Structure formats: structure tokens, C-alpha cells
Structure 1
Amino acid sequence: MKNLLLLLLALGLVPVALAQTRPAREVIEEGTNLFDAGKYDEAVARYQEVLAAEPGNVVALSELALTYNALDRHAEAADICKKLVKADPRVGPSVYVTYGNSLDGLKKPAEAVRVYEQGLKYFPNSYMLHFNAGVTQARAGQVPAGITSFQQAVARNPNHASSHVNLGLMQLGSEHRIPGLLALSRFLVLEPRSPRAVQRLPMLDKAMNLGVSRTGKNAISINISSAALAGANGKEGGPDNFGPAEMLLSISSAALLDSSLNKGVPPPTNAIERFVQQFSSLCKGLGELADNQKGFTWNYYVPYFVELEKKGFGPAFAYLAHSSQTDAPEVQQWLAAHPNEVAVFQEWSKNYEWPKDLK
């Protein structure tokens, strides 16, 4: 009987479905392992093996579309996802993510955003849909929309480092210094030692000292952009207005350049000590200004950093955020001498209850 079956298979006289001798789940898992190993063509072969026997296998189709994107076969990926979504709009958020990514790969950002928005109608709490929409909007130069998408992403997943860093970069790029500074700081709490941290940490340090410079032996200049003084919508008094906080941060930075302006506080001996004092001053100032403020940053980031300061975690945060500076001995020495302080801070941060109010 076995020999007869092999003969019929060779002649193509046995239905393909009978040729599938292994469970589909097992073959798909093999395909995903190959995908994770970067062996995309081999992964495609496994998914096609399943689909030859089960043409409607949603998991195999979804994984095949994802792999086609990795191979820059975006049109084929989009076609698969389009059919999956048409057959069942609730097929799953990952299919909408793959669909949008494929359209983005085809240089169709407007269509990609529409797909993400369509997916959010069915899966409003999918942080990945919000995040991917933000990435597409950022590439298209849609700054306010991109910022909103990244805000929605971090609100749904406070531990998604990529959403925090992209939000921070967009806000800094639009001259909203303090919102961008806080988002970037949160990123560095989550990912303090990664290659991305090495790349982005200098932007945080630059933002802390932005617009403050010594212009003479006894002269310090402070320059604050009009965008930084306005709210998120560009209007003074609107949501996420950090004008007063901008002034406080700039003044505290200036004081650190001139000890005569900062009486009673020992001058910093290096850049990291300067950062610790600046950040502490910023958090205290935000706490004093927080009453009756509105906007996403005030509601979401500010309470976290104000509480961080009140609990005495300022130094632990600052040195952890700078831990990617392997060429800064003062940073590495402090971290080596205070492992418990860092661990306690990280445990508090891990268990912090982020607000649900997304306004």
C-alpha cells in the first residue's frame, strides 16, 4: 500500500491535501523559526507547503505575508492581507500591521494609514497599530498626527521603548523641548545600554542645555524658541503648554554655569552631576506647576517624573540613563558603587501605574 501511494504521488494522482503528512501547526512553527533566523526563502517554502494542503489556513497566510514583506515582496504581501481582511475584518491586528507595512513599502503612505485606522476600529487598544501609523505619518512629514499616534501607543504599552523614542524625537524636532525630553528619558529607562541609547543619549543632554550659553566672562545668554513657549497646538495656554517650565529649566541651566546665581548649591564637577542637578530642578518645577494643567504630557509623563524625584530616584535615573557612556569613568564608577539604588529604582519603575486618561 505504501509503495502504491508513493507511485501515485510521483504521478501526481493523489490530492495535495493527502500529501501533507505533518500537522500544519508543526510546519508553520518550523517556518517561523526559519523566519526568526533570517532564512526567509526557506520559511516561505514551509508556509507554501501548508497552503498546498490547506489553502485557507489563516496563520500560514499571515506568516507568508509577513515573510514577503521581509523579502521586499510588498505587493504579494498586500494582496494576501487584503484578502484576509476582506474575508474577516476581525482577523487580527497583526494582519493589519503587515498590510499597512506592505503598503508603506510600496510607497503608499496614505493607503497604509487608512489600513491602520481601519484596524483600530476593530482593535482600538493595539499599540502596534498606533505605533506603525506613527512611523508612516512621521515619514510623510505629518508631525502632529505622528505625535498623537505615538502618544496613543505609549498609553497602551508604557514599556514599548520604540514608541517613546520616536515620540521624543518628533517632539524635539518640532521644538517642544520638555515633552520630547521626558519621552526620551522614559526610553532611556527602558533601554539604557542599547546601541539606540548610545545614539540618542547625546540628544537628551543637548536638550537639557538648549539655548543656554556663556557669551562672556560674566555674561550668560538664554534663548527659548517661540514653539517651546507655546502649547502642543501652537497656542499659548493650550494643552501641553510648558512655557513656564521652559523658563525654569533654562534659568537653572544658566545658574549651573555661574555659581553666583546658584548660591547654597555646590557647583557640579562634571557633566553627569550637572545633569542630575538640572533634572532634579526640572522635576521639582514640574511638580509645582502641575495643578490644573492639561495635555497628554502633563497627564502621562509628568506624574511619573515628579514622583521619581520625590522618592529620591533622581541620581539612579540619571546614571542609569547615561550607562551607555562606557568611556565616562564617573558614570561607570557610580553605577558599580550603587547597584541597589538602581535596582530599587528599576523595580519602582516596573510597577508604576501609568494613567489611563489619554487626554
Structure 2
Amino acid sequence: MRLSLLQLPLALLLVSGGAYAQQDSLLAREKAIAAIKLMDGGEPDKSIPLLEEAAKLDPESLDYPYEMAYARYLMKDYGKSVDILRKLTRRDDANDRVYQLLGNSYDMAGQKEKAIETYEKGLKLFPASGNLYLERGVVEVMKEDFNKALAYFEAGIAAAPMYPSNYYWAAKIFGNYTQEEVWGMIYGEIFLNLERNTRRTVEISKMLYLTYKSEIKIAGDSASVSFSKNNVINVSYDPKGGPEALAAQLKNLKMPYGGAVYEPNLAIAVAGEKIINLQTLNNIRSRFLELYQQKFRSMTKVPVVLFDYQQQVKEAGLLEPYNYWILGYGQEQDFTDWRAANGELFNRFLEWVKDHRLAISEETRFYRARY
């Protein structure tokens, strides 16, 4: 997903200069915004004259030659894009997006090694660049070297925890190509909170739902959950014993995070359910959160930021619509029926979540190496 440099706050672009300079900067910005609309509308060739005018009005700005390079990229004139961007890398104000687009241009021109070299150079200069880790990881995905790809995506998550695309790719790999689905479940749900209403969110919502369906097995009064390799947690539910009896079955298990925290907690939460659908997953996830807060949160060095956010949602009285919102694309008709019956509650959640988004700081980052 492209973020234009022109989406930066206008105040950052006008921090210096007199009235005439500011007037020229404003006019240049207006022309560039019009140019970007042309690009987004599939007419990058028509955007170039506007960007050239913008560059003349504000020759010190990096933004306009960058956008010209992007227009050339869209026109598949990768050589010209490379020429522009190589000059920009020599500027003191060159940023990570310059290296990202330069690497992409090399890649599309068939110069794979130059692309990798560019991404790596960019990462040395901008080690907190989530988008450069993303590009480097995608290179490895194309080679089907998923372990190496994960190393880049998870490094990107650690470096830029609010950048969604690395979570997206990490979730896809863990969910579809490994037996360590636990990480895909958490990365995937974090992604859904950071990116809204895109093709990718539909894809990950379905993946989470189908993973629950495939990895929770229920047979009579017994259930098994398997979200981590070689850690299949089998339990038998006795209604007389309740959750405490289930906890007793699990207390001697010594395993890494997936087996020591996530799976035992989920196994207890599943108890008593007979099928897996949106309604029962809402029940399971609600019990999971309660058990996590009571018993499991203290078992990790760093609390899971996603589960702490879920607790905020619960305290607002909105955990049920949140759970349906996260998993709804996995069972769309049931989600539609639930929304029709709970329209006021769901709308209240949608209003609440606008002002209460998941926020991840350096201290609360979630990535596998911390657990």
C-alpha cells in the first residue's frame, strides 16, 4: 500500500521560508495532489507535466521528483524511474521510501540482485523502516524461502510495530505454511486492527476463522486444540469439575509460548462447546480472555498487547461485536444475520473503535522473539 510523501501534514512542509516561498509551496502541493489523482485514476503520463511544474515552484522538495519516479514506475519506464531515484539517494533528505521505490524499480526491470542490494542499503540507513523489511521479505516469499521471509517480516514488526503489512505476511506464512498457527492467529488479529476494510482484511479474517475450525477438534465431551507443532493439547471435560479440573490436567505441561500459554488457555475455553461457529467462537474467545487475564497473563515477561486491547473492548461492553467483526468473513451469512439482529450494538462498536484503535508502542510490541 503506497503512502504518498504528500500525505505528510502540511505544517511540516512549510516550517521555513517567507510568504512567497509558502505561496509557491502551496501551489506546488496543489499541482502534485492533482497529479496523484491522475496516477490513481490510471493516467500517470498526464501527471508528469504537473509534477514538473511543482518541482519548479518548490525545487528544494524531495516529494515531487519522487512522485515523478513513481509515475514512471506506473508507466513501466523502470529505467527512468531508476535514474530519478538514484539521484535522490544522494540527497541528505533521502528517506526510506526512496530506497523502497528504487529497489522495486530494479526488481521490475529484472535486476533482482540490485533490488536486494538497494533494500539492504536502505535498511542500514533506516533500520526502523517497516516498509523496507516488507520488501526484503517479499523477495524471499517469491523464492519460497519462508523462514528467511519471516525473519524479515518479524524484524519489521519489531522495528515498526504500527506498520500493518509485515503482520499480514507473517500471519499468512504462519497460517498457511507452518504448524505454528499460534503466531499467525495473533499477528493476523493485530493486522485486522491496524488495517481496515481492504481485500487483505477479508483474507485474514477468513484465515483466522478457518484456522479455528481446523485446529479445534470436538468429539463428545472431549476437545483437542493444536496451534503449535508437536503441542496437541487433549482434554476431557467433566461438567462437575469445571475449568479448575481442566487446569489441573494441564498444570504439569512445560512448553514454549504456544503450548504453555495459548493452547492450554484455549483448551479450557473450548470446554463445553459442541461445534465451532461464530457464536461458539465468541463464547470461546470471551472465556479465553477471562482466563488469560486471571491465570496466564502473568506467565509471560511481556503481556500480549492484543489481549490487553481485547480487555479494553470487553470493559466497554463490546467484546461480542468485536469478535464477530474479527471473524465475520469466515462465515459471512451468519455474520450478516447477527448484524441484522444486533444492529445497534454493532454500530456502537463501530463508533467506539474509531476513537479507540489498537496502539502498539516500543514497550508493548508483540513479536515472536520476545516470547
TM-score, normalised on structure 2?
0.68
2:349 counterpart of 1:342: yes
Q: 2:125 aligns with which of 86, 103, 122?
A: 122
The Cα of 1:91 is off from its aligned counterpart by 1.1
Q: 1:71 aligns with which of 54, 68, 75?
A: 75
Contact 1:189 1:317 in 2 (8 A): no
Contact 2:180 2:228 in 1 (8 A): no
Change (3 A) 1:52 1:104: same
2:321 counterpart of 1:316: yes
The Cα of 1:318 is off from its aligned counterpart by 1.0
Q: 1:140 aligns to what?
A: 143
Q: 1:274 aligns to what?
A: 280
Q: Percent identity?
A: 18
> Take 1:348 and 1:151, find their aligned partners in 2: how far apart are those partners?
28
Q: 2:214 aligns with which of 195, 204, 210?
A: 210
| 1:90-101 correspondence runs (5 A) | 90-101=93-104
Contact 2:209 2:327 in 1 (8 A): no
- Comparing 247-256 with 161-170, which one deviates more in the overlay? 247-256
**Count of residue pairs brought into register by the alignment:** 314
Higher relative contact order (CA 8 A, sep 6+): 2
> Take 1:320 and 1:126, find their aligned partners in 2: how far apart are those partners?
30
- Three-state SS of the structure 1 residue aligned to 2:226 is coil
- Output one character per residue of 1:296-346: Cα deviation in whole Å (capped at 9) or x when no partner: xx6543433355446654212112224556533432224413146414651
| 1:228-267 correspondence runs (5 A) | 229=231, 240-250=257-267, 252-253=269-270, 255-257=272-274
| 1:1-359 correspondence runs (5 A) | 28-47=32-51, 58-85=62-89, 87-88=90-91, 90-109=93-112, 111-154=114-157, 160-173=163-176, 174-191=178-195, 193-214=197-218, 218=220, 222=224, 224=226, 227=229, 229=231, 240-250=257-267, 252-253=269-270, 255-257=272-274, 271-287=277-293, 288-294=295-301, 299-309=304-314, 312-322=317-327, 327-328=333-334, 329-339=336-346, 341-343=348-350, 345-347=352-354, 349-350=356-357, 352-357=358-363, 358=365, 359=370
Change (3 A) 1:162 1:47: same
Change (3 A) 1:27 1:203: closer
> Take 1:118 and 1:180, find their aligned partners in 2: how far apart are those partners?
29
Change (3 A) 1:117 1:304: farther
Q: 1:267 aligns to what?
A: none
- Three-state SS of the structure 1 residue aligned to 2:131 is helix
- Comparing 203-212 with 131-140, which one deviates more in the overlay? 131-140
Change (3 A) 1:52 1:228: farther
5+ long unaligned stretches in structure 2: 1-26, 233-253
> Take 1:199 and 1:118, find their aligned partners in 2: how far apart are those partners?
32
The Cα of 1:151 is off from its aligned counterpart by 4.0
> Take 2:67 and 2:117, find their aligned partners in 1: how far apart are those partners?
22
Which residue type is aligned with residue 282 of structure 2? V
Q: Which structure has the larger Rg? A: 1
5+ long unaligned stretches in structure 1: 1-22, 231-235, 259-269
Which residue type is aligned with residue 62 of structure 1? Y
> Take 2:283 and 2:30, find their aligned partners in 1: how far apart are those partners?
56
TM-score, normalised on structure 1?
0.70
